[in-house]
Structure 1
Amino acid sequence: MARNEPVAVIGLGRFGRALALELARGGTEVLGVDVDPRVVQGLAGQLEQVVVADASDVEALREIGIAGFTRAVVAIGTNLQASIITTSLLSDLEVDDIWAKALDDQQARILRRVGAHHVVLPEHDMGERVAHLVSGRALDYLEVDEGWVLAKTRPPHHLVGVPLGRSGLRAKRRVTVVSVKPAQEQRYRHTDTTTVLAYGDEILVAGAPADVDRFIDEM
Structure 2
Amino acid sequence: MARHRLFDEDILVIGLGRFGAAAAIEMDRLGYRVHAIEGDGAQAEKFSRRLTRVLAADAADPSQLAQAKPQDFRVAVVGIGTSIESSLLTAGNLVDAGVPSIWAKAVSAEHARLLERIGVHHVIFPEAESGNRVAHLVNDRMMGYIEFEDGYAIVKMSPPQEMIGFTLAETDIRKKYGVTVVGVKAPGEDFTHAVPETKVGRHHIMIVSGPSKLIEQLASRP
Mapping of residues 138-157 of structure 1, within 5 Å: none
Residue segments in structure 1 that go unaligned for 5+ positions in a row: 127-143, 151-186, 196-203, 205-219
Across the aligned residues of Structure 1 and Structure 2, the Cα RMSD in angstroms comes to 2.9
Cα displacement (A) at 1:78 = 2.3
Cα displacement (A) at 1:55 = 0.2
Structure 2 residue aligned with 1:121, among 109, 118, 125?
Answer: 125
Structure 2 residue aligned with 1:50, among 48, 54, 74?
Answer: 54
Seen in structure 2, the aligned counterparts of structure 1 residues 19 and 125 have a Cα distance that, compared at 3 Å, is closer
Distance 1:29 1:12 in 2: 15
CA contact 1:70–1:97 (8 Å) conserved in 2? yes
Distance 1:68 1:194 in 2: 40
Deviations 1:33-82 (A, max 9, x none): 10000001111211121110100010111122222112101110121000
Mapping of residues 1-219 of structure 1, within 5 Å: 3-124=7-128, 190=182
- Higher RCO structure (Cα 8 Å, ≥6 apart): 2
Letter in 1 for 2:110: Q
Cα displacement (A) at 1:106 = 1.4
Seen in structure 2, the aligned counterparts of structure 1 residues 194 and 42 have a Cα distance that, compared at 3 Å, is closer
Larger Rg: 1
Distance 1:194 1:74 in 2: 37
Count of paired positions: 140
Counting aligned pairs with the same residue, the percent is: 36
Seen in structure 2, the aligned counterparts of structure 1 residues 9 and 193 have a Cα distance that, compared at 3 Å, is closer
Letter in 2 for 1:46: R
Seen in structure 2, the aligned counterparts of structure 1 residues 3 and 116 have a Cα distance that, compared at 3 Å, is farther
Distance 2:88 2:194 in 1: 51
CA contact 1:98–1:116 (8 Å) conserved in 2? yes
